[in-house]
Amino acid sequence: MSFKLSIPLVVSLLASFSAVSAQTQCNATSLCPSSAPCCSEFGFCGTGDFCLGGCNPLASNTLTSCMPEPVCQNANHTFKDTSRILTNATYFDGNATKYDWVVNSGTIINSTAGELGLTLTEDNGGTRISSTRYVHYGTITARLKTGKWGGVVTAFITMSDIKDEIDWEFPGDQVTEGQSNFFWQGVIPQKTVGGTHGNLTDTFSNYHDYTIDWQEDALTWAIDGQTVRTLKRSDTTGDDGVSRYPSTPSRVQLSIWPAGINASGQGTIEWAGGLINWDDPDYKSAGHFYALVESVSITCADSKANPSDAQSYVYGKNTSAFSPQIAVSNETTVNSGAMALRALAGAGGVWTAIGAGAFMALGALLV
């Protein structure tokens, strides 16, 4: 099936600029300068929206350079319309009461059935949306239909600002299975810790509920309410006593992305089912590949324990890579500078164009 477009209404195609210190990259051993204090999720120093979602406190100028992270709230997100989705993440100011999701890249579409479509074209590099609020342990369930094309990957993950990650991924044309995985602070293990879970009815044609039940002592993946994998924190503790277990506040992210392209490594291409066929009849007919999201539910593990005035998560002053310390605070998450055009970030600063997400409100017909 594909999206047939009737009466397309292009609502917005936004672009933005951010002030970035010229060629200044950042990591845990090379921190950002005070003139561009925030290390973005892509490893570049800057100001404004660089200090919001994805800002890495361990690579920024100080642990307090990044804005506090909006605290978790129980919610059931549906997509009858897109009024709670900001279609250009670079215009988000940190106010999670205004928007539930931001589009980091690509284009979203809304079907007449109230489904959110994430699209992939040869030009847009895929679509990713992120929750504006963070989860620090909790249960997240995404009800979705995946893609079905070789080289095209559908993903539902949690991602922290220091790269703790929990995954559900659906590579290529493998429409009877899903893959679970996790990463600790972006470290790629020598031996994969991923799992494959099969015997599903067609994941492209049928909705399934995919759950990440992330608790402080154990992590469970489930499909349609049935547990398929459990990982204990104790299973990840090394001889050095460090638990390499996701433990830091994370955004929920949904995406469709092109793994099967020449720029990818051969192993990635093979995992994704080969190179993408941009001459596929489905692509030619609809003008894109896509995945559909019906709903995302979030139950926060800390909602009852948090004080009534809780606004945000912050990293403690003694935080290190091996012992991140997270506190709940009443500090604001709003960065008033993120909405304005940023001035040049000190001597040698440059204007860098940031690709913006776009949204098309579509009278769509599923066939």
What are the extents of the domains in the chain?
Answer: 68-334
Count how many residues are written for the chain: 367
| Amino acid at residue number 366 | L
The reported pLDDT for the residue numbered 73 is 97
Of the candidates 154, 268, 166, 243, the residue with the CA atom closest to the CA atom of residue 207: 154
- Name the strand (E) or helix (H) holding 281: helix 281-286
Distance CA 134, CA 72 (A): 5
The reported pLDDT for the residue numbered 119 is 98
- Cα dihedral value 302, 229, 186, 276, nearest 10: -120
Of the candidates 31, 35, 9, 5, the residue with the CA atom closest to the CA atom of residue 21: 35
The reported pLDDT for the residue numbered 192 is 82
Distance CA 81, CA 153 (A): 25
**Residues with catalytic roles:** 165, 169
Of the candidates 348, 356, 355, 357, the residue with the CA atom closest to the CA atom of residue 46: 348
User: Do 168 and 178 touch, CB atoms closer than 8 A?
Assistant: yes
The reported pLDDT for the residue numbered 23 is 59
User: Do 334 and 49 touch, CB atoms closer than 8 A?
Assistant: no
Distance CA 110, CA 124 (A): 17
Helix, strand or coil, per DSSP, at residue 288 = coil
The total of other beta-carbon atoms located within 10 Å of residue 243's CB is 16
Asked if CATH classification 3.40.50.10420 holds for the domain at 68-334, the reply, yes or no, is no
Residue for token digits 């679970």?
Answer: 180
User: Do 101 and 86 touch, CB atoms closer than 8 A?
Assistant: yes
Strand pairing of 152-160 and 165-171?
Answer: antiparallel
Beta bridge partners of 38: 46
Distance CA 250, CA 60 (A): 18
Residue for token digits 């992210």?
Answer: 253
The end-to-end CA distance of the chain, in Å, is 5
Distance CA 285, CA 93 (A): 38
Indicate the pTM of the whole model.
Answer: 0.87
Give the count of alpha carbons within 13 A of 119, CB side only. 22
Q: How does 164-174 read in b/e, with b if 16+ C-beta sit within 10 Å?
A: bbbbbbbbbbb
Block means of pLDDT (10 residues each) for the chain, 367 residues, are: 29 36 81 96 95 96 96 97 96 97 97 95 97 98 98 98 98 96 92 93 98 98 98 94 95 98 97 98 98 98 92 88 90 77 30 31 31
